[in-house]
Structure 1
């Protein structure tokens, strides 16, 4: 999906945008260069999402927090 494509772009160029919104991404094991970047990342998933598992997305958000300011949003639906 688009969120996973954006994650790949962030992996290659962490300063590609001021803010990135990842709607229901998958944790595909991207490796980010060391350092902290100003790009704000907003990560969303649904509590009942069967494809973008909330626990896995939270783990992804926590990994991203090592490099970016991250807001994690868990919504009611899927």
Structure 2
């Protein structure tokens, strides 16, 4: 049993192209470039406070610990 589409491939192709064109029309985007999207995303995230500087003491504690180990090693082999 043959379908109508197999008998007329040009009509099937044009029908498929028309369906694809109408489907693409439904996915409109507010931004014309990726740079506009990324800048809007960064502005929104800054407004939410996501890019605030972290107030962690971890790097300072690591530095103090390494400095104390270095001083201890120097005093041990002196």
Category of TM-score, reference length = shorter chain: under 0.3
Q: TM-score by structure 2 length?
A: 0.22
User: Please, what TM-score do these two structures have when normalized by structure 1?
Assistant: 0.22
Using CA pairs under 8 Å that are at least 6 residues apart, name the structure with larger relative contact order, 1 or 2.
1
Q: Which has the larger radius of gyration?
A: 2
- The structure carrying a bigger strand percent of its residues is 1
